[in-house]
A and B are shown apart, each in its own frame.
Chain A
Amino acid sequence: MSTISRSIPRTDSPQKSAGRANYLDDMRIAGALHARLLLSTRPRARILRVETPALPDGYVTVDHSDIPGTNAVRMINDGWPLFPVDMVEYVGQPILLIAGPDVAVIDELLAAVTVEYEDLTPVFGIDGAETVEDPECFVDYHLEYHLEGAPGPTDQPSGDLAFTITETFDTGAQEHIYLEPQAMAAWCEGHRITVTGSIQCPYYVHKALVTVLGWDADRIRVVQATTGGAFGGKEDFPSVLAGYVALAAHKTGQPVKLVLDRGQDIEISTKRHPSRITLASSVGRSGLAQSTCADIRIDGGAFEGLSSTVLQRAMFNASGVYRIPEISVQGQAYRTNIVPYGAFRGFGSPQAFFASEMHMCHLARKHGEDPLSFKRRHLVRQGDRTITGGTLRDPVKMEEMIDSVLTQSEYNRKRPEYERATGITRRGIGVSLFNHGCGFTGSGERDIIKARVKLRGHADGKVEVLCSNVEMGQGAETTLRKIVAETLGVPIGNVVFQNPDTDQVPDSGPTVASRTVMVVGGLLHTAALKLKDATSPGPGQPVEVEANYQQPAEIEWDQSTFTGDAYPAFSWGVNIIEIELDLLTYAIRPLTVWASFDIGTAIDERIVIGQIHGGIAQGIGYGTTELLEVRDGAFQQRTMTDYVIPGSLDTPEIHVNLVSNPYHGGPFGAKGVGEIPLTGPPPALGDAVECALGVEIHQIPLTPEYLERIVRTQGGAQ
């Protein structure tokens, strides 16, 4: 273990345990008004008339007519209106808000608002889009990859093909359930506005406010409040809420606070994109997969938001961690009349890995081989081409990682035993192999994000970290400070990290995409090296140094054809999961997870393992109980009672081993860890169920209803 990996106490831990950490709703904001939203009850309709009741003194409504700038939530494009003008596009779309001193009065007023609609025909989900003649797509991509050195399709003697399989996989929506619901507040001072809230990306919010208010950037200040979990859910949606509170504060001249209750949070915030992925592969007589054709469709919801980039990431993972010479991938993001889907830990990758891993299991089965052995024969190696024609430059340690968990789990003994077992209670054991590209796709870091960080060294030896990346539970505060302290050779206590404030920190990009440690931590490392040599401008004066992102020289990427190195580095993972299930309830009980990860170097082992545990739990939820069903455009699950995330009794024992594989482009060799742990469990669980029941799995979540049905229809559980 590298010395930096040795765990240190998290500085935020004592305050949080004592209940002294101030999340947005805990902040005392003098004179703050409350705001509540009026939501559309129709999935797709023209708004004919909105009638608001007479408002008592001190209460105001805010809607599209109060927007001084552009009526758009700025993301990749401006297609998402902050408030609708004459059309609603989904159930739960905020139409207006009412702000005032008393929440109960606001609720009465909202109940008295009448909206007259003229209903139009909605499209619900992928099923709905597929039944429409010409479904509307936000994006529609077609890519063909022919890996260098591999025989082309025409060179392939067709008589050499043993079989082909074409099959379709469905993955459901997933709600983040960060434990602190979305929350935001705003106030005006002079000609400036300050917005503070539970957010991942201060500068995303900042840019969104520039668009909505139409003001110069320097009139807007965004400060992150202590954030109670995010998982991607506070990447995009806070830009929406920030617009609401900013408009209300601007209109009333008073501070305004908007805290969603859990039901409303589930109802209107973004979620993981549901997907339908069809994979068609051919396997040669040699037992090697020759080609894969992937068709990936995701439900984008009503507005595009981040759907195009989520779809890209899904497409770039269509062949998993395997060498397949011929690949074609097409992808579409449908526009439907459901809450816009958005960022969620993994960002399209968990969907693709579920499909490609299960598909490999099915190819193996048809070939008459154990899935793990079949997968191992196809594993990519160092020097191989990636699906986009990039190069895997760094060592791939998957073989060693697989061996370690195989031994620990006794997979080779258990698998055949469980496959043969009969009786009401069955066990299963399954494997998944996966990776995750760290940082933004392609040249996004260089061309779009352009990250900058600063360090400010003070005469008393204190060093301030100035970056826009946030602590949201994942340990960024401790990790980034540790990188700086270790580089400077000073005690960690000398390095100060505060919740980012756009008045103070440069734009080092959003806290997303497994980039915070590798990219931003890397920049801080560079800045710390500069600081060592820098001299103070004058006695007692602080010295400031800056570092800017430089794309590694070896990286080549063409965004117009999606070719080249989609990611500068990959983290890698192996999961083995053992489960128990009985044929009466069909409820899956995960018993143990053995996990091996290569994330480069761990900057702090306990924090890294904490990320892995939490990601695995979230992946288990995604694969088993976290079901969101849409009826008439509305989610049927509205509470944490209906939407079931894993509890202490549902989360198995988790054994993690970290394989050291330092990446030259990351600080101390670190790569990313935030997202990858969520990817492993769904396919490992699927494989474990196949082992236990002898069925073929094609969807998640693995609900008892689904398992009961496929056992019946496929004649499983003999």
Chain B
Amino acid sequence: MRISFTVNGNPVVVEAEPLARLLDVLRIDLGLHGVKEGCGEGECGACAVLLNGRIVNSCVTPVAAAADGEILTIEGFCETDRYAVIEQAFSDSGGVQCGFCTPGFVMATEALLRENSKPSEDEIRRGLSGNLCRCTGYNMIVQAVQAASETLNGQ
């Protein structure tokens, strides 16, 4: 079936089974390799993208769910000013180690800060609870989100 949607602002049309994983369409058909597969079952958030502004795990999202929608992946988001702030905060806080989880955390951070521009530590931990990281122990990622939130709020 032909499915059309926009990815990072560009309209695309793909030929895919409706139940095909959005992750595979993004990675294989569209070559967007910043979207990672860590578990393939909706548990780790490495494959997170924004679909119509909401964070979804693309490994458990059928491509049909994206029909006529807008998808933002790390490849699109990393062109924005907000990304630059979040990236800097991750780097300054030590939020990146092996990096496999990082694009997913960056997308989750953006989703969280769009909804709640000044989250408390607890809200940050909750907001990131769909993403797993095996390297950092999360504290430095939480600090990164706090720092990004402060910068984005002009503090």
Contact = CB atoms under 8 A, between A and B. Distances in A.
Interface of A: 7, 9-10, 12-23, 25-26, 176-181, 226-231, 261-263, 472-475, 606-607, 609-610, 613-618, 639-641, 645-649, 651, 653-654
A421 B94 CA distance: 39
A26 B128 CA distance: 25
A17 B142 contact: no
Interface in B120-141: 124-126, 128-129, 131-141
Given A20-B34, A179-B132, A262-B41, A651 B138 contact: yes
B97 A610 contact: yes
A648 B140 contact: no
Given A19-B34, A472-B98, A13 B91 contact: yes
Contacts of B139: 613, 651, 653-654
B55 interface: no
B106 A17 contact: yes
Contacts of B103: 16-19
Contacts of B68: none
B22 interface: no
B99 A21 contact: yes
Contacts of A613: 136-140
Contacts of B51: none
B43 A639 contact: yes
Interface residues of B, number: 50
Contacts of B99: 12-13, 15-17, 21, 226, 228, 473
A636 to B, nearest CB: 16
A327 B1 CA distance: 71
Nearest to A641: B43
A51 to B, nearest CB: 30
Q: Which 6 A-B pairs give the minimum distances between C-beta atoms?
A: A19-B34, A16-B99, A473-B98, A228-B100, A613-B137, A617-B137
Interface of B: 32-41, 43-44, 46, 73-75, 78, 83, 86-87, 90-92, 94, 96-103, 106, 124-126, 128-129, 131-142
A261 B44 CA distance: 13
Given A13-B87, A17-B78, A649-B125, 8 more contacts: A16-B96, A19-B102, A179-B100, A610-B136, A640-B38, A647-B138, A648-B131, A654-B137
Contacts of A176: 134
A56 to B, nearest CB: 21
A641 B41 CA distance: 8
10 contacts: A17-B86, A17-B102, A18-B78, A18-B103, A178-B98, A178-B134, A229-B100, A262-B38, A639-B41, A647-B132
B92 to A, nearest CB: 7
Nearest to B32: A19
B73 to A, nearest CB: 8
A474 B96 CA distance: 10
A16 B102 contact: yes
A226 B142 CA distance: 25
A473 B135 contact: yes
Contact of A10 (B46, B91, B129, B138): B91
Contacts of B83: 18
Contact of A179 (B33, B46, B124, B142): B46
Given A262-B38, A645-B134, A653-B139, A14 B91 contact: yes
A22 B41 contact: no
